[in-house]
Amino acid sequence: MDSGLRDKVVLVTGASGGIGSAVARLVAQEGARLVLHGHKNAAQLAKLKAELGVETYTHLADLTVEEEVEGLFEAAVGHFGQLDVVVANAGIWPKEDVPIHRMSLERWERTLATDLTSVFLCARAFFRVLDRLRPESAALVLVGSTAAVFGEEGHADYAAAKAAMTYGLTRTLKNEIVRIVPRGRVNAVCPGWTWTPMSEEGLRDPDLVRRVLTTRALRRVARPEEVAQAIVFLASERLAGHVSGEILTVAGGMEGRLLHHPAEVDPTQA
Ligand SMILES: NC(=O)c1ccc[n+]([C@@H]2O[C@H](COP(=O)([O-])OP(=O)(O)OC[C@H]3O[C@@H](n4cnc5c(N)ncnc54)[C@H](OP(=O)(O)O)[C@@H]3O)[C@@H](O)[C@H]2O)c1
């Protein structure tokens, strides 16, 4: 199916990571031009650029730093002269399970800065570009998490940041973007466990995988390409031109979390 993204300029944050690189590959197949953002992994960005076969511009930036976000967007528009789609995908998931009574303020602030403030900075920079260039259409796709939908024990920082960006930002910015670009749209994709560098260490633990698969209809973990397909669908005006403010969960029919192992439950105490 033709997404209509040919010759559009698409900026993907976190393109050096698992889901971001899958988005970049799919967008390139659709004939769009790409701004590939990474934080530290310049080698991975260079490898991806060499593989894509469309015009790309790569840029490293720490998206928690205001000046670096502004520099990214200025350079992107300076290179291509336009910017049609932003996929705000970069993020971290601190691996260690830490209940809130043991969570340091440092961890809380670092996660909020990386997973929420960075999205505010990118959305603001994108909307400023839209205000200046006034394109006919535009799309912002945010990458949240099932942690936003179901919460995540031991990861209150991550769940809070993802909930704020998916529910708070998506549903507010869909109304703000149309004041600038009447056909502008804002949506979010919430992946569940997906095979990427972020999750692969955890997914080596069969006990964790069993707990994860017990909670979803499709008894497997997503591939990054499956998340990327949902993102590209929402990015495309041709495919999703009347879809805005939606939060699309890509998690195999996940219903919640397994809280207790069957062995931990005593039916006589029910
Ligand atoms: N994988 C999953 O199971 C899963 C599940 C739910 C939601 N998600 C969400 O999906 C998105 C992508 O995750 P992924 O699995 O593809 O992770 P990943 O492979 O670890 O990639 C993370 C990306 O974020 C970038 N990044 C990290 N800190 C940054 C910072 N301070 N400034 C700018 N960029 C920064 C990294 O850049 P460098 O590598 O260049 O340093 C990398 O490109 C994240 O928002 C994540 O929360 C993932």
Q: Is the dihedral of CA 98, 189, 128, 69 positive or negative?
A: positive
pLDDT-derived band at 243, boundaries 50, 70, 90: very high
| Ligand 1 near 63 CB (within 6 A) | yes
In single-letter form, the type of residue at position 167 comes to Y
Work out which ligand 1 atom sits closest to the CA atom of 227: 10
Would you say the pTM of this structure is higher than 0.95?
yes
| Ligand 1 near 18 CB (within 6 A) | yes
Work out which ligand 1 atom sits closest to the CA atom of 93: 47
pLDDT-derived band at 34, boundaries 50, 70, 90: very high
Give the span between the Cα atoms of 72 and 64, in whole angstroms.
12
User: Nearest 5°: phi and psi at 7?
Assistant: 70, 0
pLDDT of 1 above 90:
no
pLDDT tens sequence across 159-186: 999 999 999 999 999 999 999 999 999 9
pLDDT tens sequence across 195-211: 999 999 989 999 999 99
CB-neighbour burial class of residue 134 (10 A; exposed 0-12, middle 13-18, buried 19+) = exposed
> 96 with 45: CB under 8 angstroms?
no
> 166 with 249: CB under 8 angstroms?
no
Predicted confidence at residue 262, as pLDDT, reads: 84
CB-neighbour burial class of residue 43 (10 A; exposed 0-12, middle 13-18, buried 19+) = exposed
Q: Residue of the nearest CA to atom 7 in ligand 1?
A: 145
CA of 92 to the centre of ligand 1 (A): 5
Residue appearing with tokens 């970049």: 24
Hey, which residues are catalytic here?
158
> 221 with 204: CB under 8 angstroms?
no
Residues facing 216 on adjacent strands: 254
What does the pLDDT average to over 222-236?
98
Give the span between the Cα atoms of 195 and 154, in whole angstroms.
20
Q: Residue of the nearest CA to atom 30 in ligand 1?
A: 62
Q: Enumerate the domain spans of the chain.
A: 9-269
Give the span between the Cα atoms of 7 and 27, in whole angstroms.
10
What CATH class has 9-269?
Answer: alpha beta
| Ligand 1 near 12 CB (within 6 A) | no
Give the span between the Cα atoms of 157 and 254, in whole angstroms.
21
Q: Which of 92, 200, 249 to mutate to test the pocket of ligand 1 (most atoms within 8 A of CB)?
A: 92
Give the span between the Cα atoms of 113 and 107, in whole angstroms.
10
Give the span between the Cα atoms of 173 and 220, in whole angstroms.
33
Task: Report CA 2 to chain centroid distance, whole Å.
Answer: 23
In single-letter form, the type of residue at position 95 comes to K
